[in-house]
Structure 1
């Protein structure tokens, strides 16, 4: 049996530097040993982060600086399921909201997934939040290129039942970083520390902060697979895989386009005001469209600049346009039909080459 390579991406804060955060430090996890801890020690165990996703036999590509980086979207991914509860303020009342939403999430996991407290890890974040993780094995999920999307669907179901809005659902991308356990928060000096649910319930915010002023043991948890969880999440796995196939088909069609879809034509006709009409997001969407057609970056920059000069009120600054286009090409941002329809106000499938191309081919 061939061995697999497993990699993670790390980053660290650099408060005194011009660029305050450095990432794209790729480390291979070998034979159960994680070099992340060595990386953390070199950083003084402070301000250290690691991707939740582990990349299995990752796909490597060269970025615009000719540096080899992991293609997080295309790579097979494995990760514990993770939840991030973030208090709206530093107050005791704000932290009470976190505790209340956490209690509901744990109850959901017990009732719907048959996962109890012995199968989860809880961490105080070092500031005003709580992180919860569940082993991937417990959920019965296999590594997948779509893992972050599966987890996002699951967390959205959990959040529907919470009451205070502390559960963050915007963190489920393919290279999200979390603070490494037993490293310090830059501002508070407290560690991200393991904490039991019983301790968390009885402690005040100030007591938790005091507790987190030193690192704590972080033993593994019970990893027995939950059949109920696997069944509950099954439809999410299928949906994520179906949506991935749709995106692949869409990308293929984009590369074959010989005319712009009606939504893109409309975006070159109408005016976009700075805040009312999502001017900046519309510019990003246009850049994404041209990127997906295979257009060179400089040509895309010229088109978006022309669009800004003629269709935006006020026009976007040149540097802002360059930043948008560079970001799209660097991250390979892929906007889809839903975004183009919303931003343009138009969706004419009858005259859209993305939808009628296949029909023309089958009748030719």
Structure 2
């Protein structure tokens, strides 16, 4: 990656991903990035997102620099993925494979899990990632972020990259015995704190760490070094390139994805399962339980996950995560059994009551046409 002018000196710049050299210097193709920011106020923590930018490889750095300059004193975020079109729910995705390790009580557990998985990434025949291509960051609170360049997997734009990364992370879970690997972060619009951004509750910055110090540093040491937003600026990384073992494994993951979510028909003539995530359902999932509509939305989500090809256990686990204690578990079990076993299907007329997605009921919406 390269940065020019003042942008190169800002610590957040190193976290912004640079696309590979384009096919055309005359008419470079645009892509899209969402930024977000937060700042403590008297009323609480103010969080702003949906700040999208259309950029290309020629002006990308200037857009990042302008955003940084206009928001001094804010915690800065960017989506883990770049988007090939302006609609993040239907666009192809590009971005590094990311892992988030968190433990609110003991960061040492997150450090241990991160180190074990990094060791696996470097020696496993499924990866063989050079250690100097792997980036490690202290999140600013009690977490560790690890990223692997997307180029290692021989992929650039991909329609389901978030799902690929989720499967890859699932298969790494056995190497995180402390259970600090966060599986909730694999979604299209996931925001990640930019390097050099200050955590609003701790005052610490997200800073890179040398791999050799990942486990050696105590929590006190980490808190000390993270007070400097420029810490780790001397760390050098190898230029990303295709790693044949990792690229081959990514192809295997694609096959697993197809098998998991392929379209199927039941002997009873059940409707074909859908193989994409409609933006209306993405919105309902992102918004969580909404007071006054929790039961209705939960029912629709269960039916959707069954259509999506999720197993009964997977759908139940996702419902528990979405509910986050909002509805009593007994009530949740009742509606889950009814909707999963009952093979209900909800159409757009019902969905648009609870989702304000602009794609609802348009002729170019794949979900609308599938109903």
Counterpart CA distance in 2 for 1:82 and 1:162 is: 15
Indicate whether 1:27 and 2:53 are aligned: yes
Indicate whether 1:8 and 2:20 are aligned: no
CA contact (8 A) 1:85 1:168 kept: yes
| Cα 1:213–1:76 shift into 2, 3 Å | same
CA contact (8 A) 1:46 1:185 kept: no
Q: What is the CA distance between 1:122 and its match in structure 2?
A: 0.8
Report what 2:96 is aligned to.
80
Report what 1:246 is aligned to.
263
- Structure 2 alignment gaps of length 5 or more: 1-23, 265-270, 276-301, 304-326, 361-369
Counterpart CA distance in 1 for 2:261 and 2:204 is: 40
Report what 1:235 is aligned to.
252
| Cα 1:251–1:106 shift into 2, 3 Å | closer
Report what 2:205 is aligned to.
191
Q: Deviations over 1:210-255 (max 9, x none)?
A: 1111122275543121101111221112333565663995349xxx
Counterpart CA distance in 1 for 2:155 and 2:112 is: 28
**Greater helix proportion:** 1
Counterpart CA distance in 1 for 2:260 and 2:95 is: 20
Report what 1:54 is aligned to.
82
Q: What is the CA distance between 1:295 and its match in structure 2?
A: 1.5
| Cα 1:19–1:124 shift into 2, 3 Å | closer
The 3-state SS of whatever aligns with 1:326 is: coil
CA contact (8 A) 1:200 1:208 kept: no
CA RMSD of aligned residues (A): 3.5
| Cα 1:121–1:19 shift into 2, 3 Å | closer
Q: Deviations over 1:40-65 (max 9, x none)?
A: 33222532211001002x1xxxxxxx
Q: What is the CA distance between 1:330 and its match in structure 2?
A: 7.2
| Cα 1:289–1:220 shift into 2, 3 Å | farther
Q: What is the CA distance between 1:111 and its match in structure 2?
A: 1.9
CA contact (8 A) 2:136 2:211 kept: yes
In the superposition, the TM-score normalised over structure 1's length comes to 0.66
Pick the aligned partner of 2:355 from 304, 322, 326. 326
Indicate whether 1:106 and 2:122 are aligned: no
CA contact (8 A) 2:195 2:207 kept: yes
Indicate whether 1:161 and 2:175 are aligned: yes
Q: Deviations over 1:279-331 (max 9, x none)?
A: 79859999x943xx22165xx64xxxxxxxxxxxxxxxxxxxxxxx237x579
Q: Pick which of 176-185 and 208-217 moved more.
A: 208-217
Counterpart CA distance in 1 for 2:328 and 2:181 is: 30
Counterpart CA distance in 2 for 1:35 and 1:281 is: 47
Q: What is the CA distance between 1:3 and its match in structure 2?
A: 2.5
Q: What is the CA distance between 1:195 and its match in structure 2?
A: 1.3
Counting matched residue pairs gives 273
| Cα 1:242–1:29 shift into 2, 3 Å | farther
In the superposition, the TM-score normalised over structure 2's length comes to 0.64
Indicate whether 1:275 and 2:289 are aligned: no
Matches within 5 A, 1:187-226: 187-216=201-230, 217=233, 220-226=237-243
CA contact (8 A) 1:146 1:244 kept: no
Q: What is the CA distance between 1:34 and its match in structure 2?
A: 5.6
The 3-state SS of whatever aligns with 2:34 is: strand
